[in-house]
């Protein structure tokens, strides 16, 4: 008798429980590397979010780059023979369908493969994708994180300042006082280094986001101890994601006592782990928006410093001129089923970018694969615009063409 296939949420819940028992879970592996990042797609540059990010981080790979086997082939870094893929899934309102003509005959592309088109669905459906890590790809240069203008501590301070959260220092306690809406922390000198202080400060800021006028995060059912454990599961996942984003350390510290509670909750409710990861992503997005707000205000201030006539030429570009080897502020470039907007050009050939499909902002260096792809797409496309594009589906749904990326030549494990 065949064993019933378990949903991905149950598989990952079981793996988390086993990892915690073995002492090898992502919570028990301190993140002290200054060369870490959230997992992202090797072709599009999109970061994986929520449950997908959790699944990929649980593979404990040092390389944050992931992609399908076809994406690896297009990148000329084919997956090594016998490599095992990692399954992720997500909800999508679109799917790719094979194109046929009026007679029902396949419409072929120049390479003789059948053409497909992206179609909006009446109801969202779950989509699966098998991914391979950069360590499983041939001829892929070692990944190095691009240098940032600000240090991790400086970036964290910007976030705290712009959040307007009330922080009181003194004593040895670290907590968020819900009644006073105040974060309590020891003085920064009491920590081993400034990065440890900011890691703890952002963890408490994660709790701060639970207030009704912010994310209004209310745990469901159970005793008070269960509610607290669920909240800590969410904020620790958020802290883990933030540590990868900002290059801050992550350590369970005093939260180690929650491990058994998390195992019990996930054992009884396997879907709770993915729910917690989704909530953690909302926390991260809320916190990182404070840094983006500073960048946007600075851009506005820089433009306001220009003479009035020049301001108008910056804000209204009827016929923008593009350097074929560089990106220009205001460009919107269609690529890989989504659109990327150039927000600003920074120092050292780094650009502030926005993926208009999910409104996520990120920095991109001119030595990245995405930069090269955007330059090629821009230079060979007539679809350039300088206005805001219509809202699209989340980026993950854009990255996988199931009709083209289905490949059974590699070992894949469910």
Cα 42–Cα 46–Cα 50 angle in degrees, nearest 5: 115
Domain-wise residue ranges, the chain: 152-287, 307-397
Do 352 and 371 touch, CB atoms closer than 8 A? no
CA–CA distance, 27 with 31 (Å, rounded to integer): 9
Percent of the chain with pLDDT over 90: 49
Percent of the chain with pLDDT over 70: 81
HEC assignment per residue over 128-166: EEEEEEHHHECCCCCCCCCCCCCCHHHHHHHHHHHHCCE
DSSP H helical ranges for 133-252:
152-163, 194-208, 224-246
CA–CA distance, 74 with 20 (Å, rounded to integer): 37
Cα 282–Cα 287–Cα 288 angle in degrees, nearest 5: 100
Do 239 and 206 touch, CB atoms closer than 8 A? yes
Is the pLDDT assigned to residue 45 strictly greater than 80? yes
CA–CA distance, 251 with 259 (Å, rounded to integer): 13
Per-residue confidence (pLDDT) for residue 302, from 0 to 100: 52
Among 54, 43, 19, 6, which residue's Cα sits nearest to residue 281? 54
338-395 pLDDT, tens digit each: 788 899 888 778 888 888 877 778 888 887 778 888 888 887 753 333 332 333 344 4
pTM above 0.75, yes or no: no
């Amino acid at each position: 008798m065949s064993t019933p296939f378990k949903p991905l949420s149950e598989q990952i819940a079981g793996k988390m429980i086993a990892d915690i028992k073995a002492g090898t879970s992502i919570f028990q592996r301190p993140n002290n590397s200054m060369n870490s990042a959230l997992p992202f797609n090797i072709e599009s540059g999109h970061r994986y979010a929520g449950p997908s990010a959790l699944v990929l981080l649980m593979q404990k790979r040092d390389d944050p780059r992931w992609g399908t086997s076809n994406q690896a082939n297009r990148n000329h870094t084919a997956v090594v023979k016998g490599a095992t893929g990692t399954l992720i899934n997500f909800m999508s309102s679109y799917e790719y369908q094979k194109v046929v003509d009026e007679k029902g005959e396949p419409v072929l592309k120049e390479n003789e493969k059948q053409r497909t088109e992206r179609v909006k669905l009446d109801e969202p459906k779950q989509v699966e994708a098998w991914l391979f890590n950069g360590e499983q790809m041939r001829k892929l240069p070692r990944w190095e994180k691009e240098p940032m203008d600000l240090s991790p501590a400086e970036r964290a301070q910007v976030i705290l300042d712009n959040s307007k959260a009330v922080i009181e220092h003194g004593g040895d306690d670290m907590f968020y006082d819900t009644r006073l809406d105040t974060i309590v922390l020891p003085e920064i000198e009491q920590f081993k280094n400034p990065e440890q202080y900011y890691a703890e400060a952002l963890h408490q800021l994660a709790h701060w986001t639970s207030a009704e006028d912010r994310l209004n995060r209310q745990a469901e059912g159970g005793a008070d101890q269960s509610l607290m454990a669920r909240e800590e599961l969410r904020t620790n996942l958020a802290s883990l994601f933030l540590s990868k984003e900002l290059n801050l350390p992550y350590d369970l510290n005093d939260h180690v006592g929650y491990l058994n509670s998390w195992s019990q909750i996930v054992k009884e409710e396997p879907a709770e782990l993915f729910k917690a990861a989704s909530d953690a992503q909302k926390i991260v997005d809320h916190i990182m928006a404070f840094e983006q707000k500073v960048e946007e205000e600075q851009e506005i201030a820089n433009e306001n410093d220009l003479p009035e006539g020049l301001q108008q030429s910056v804000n209204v570009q009827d016929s923008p001129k593009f350097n074929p080897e560089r990106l220009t502020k205001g460009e919107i470039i269609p690529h890989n089923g989504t659109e990327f907007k150039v927000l600003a050009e920074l120092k050292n050939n780094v650009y502030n970018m926005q993926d208009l499909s999910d409104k996520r902002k990120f920095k991109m260096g001119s030595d990245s694969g995405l930069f090269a792809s955007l330059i090629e797409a821009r230079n060979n496309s007539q679809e350039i615009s300088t206005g805001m594009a219509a809202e699209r589906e989340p980026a993950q749904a854009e990255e996988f063409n199931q009709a083209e990326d289905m490949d059974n030549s590699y070992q894949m494990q469910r």
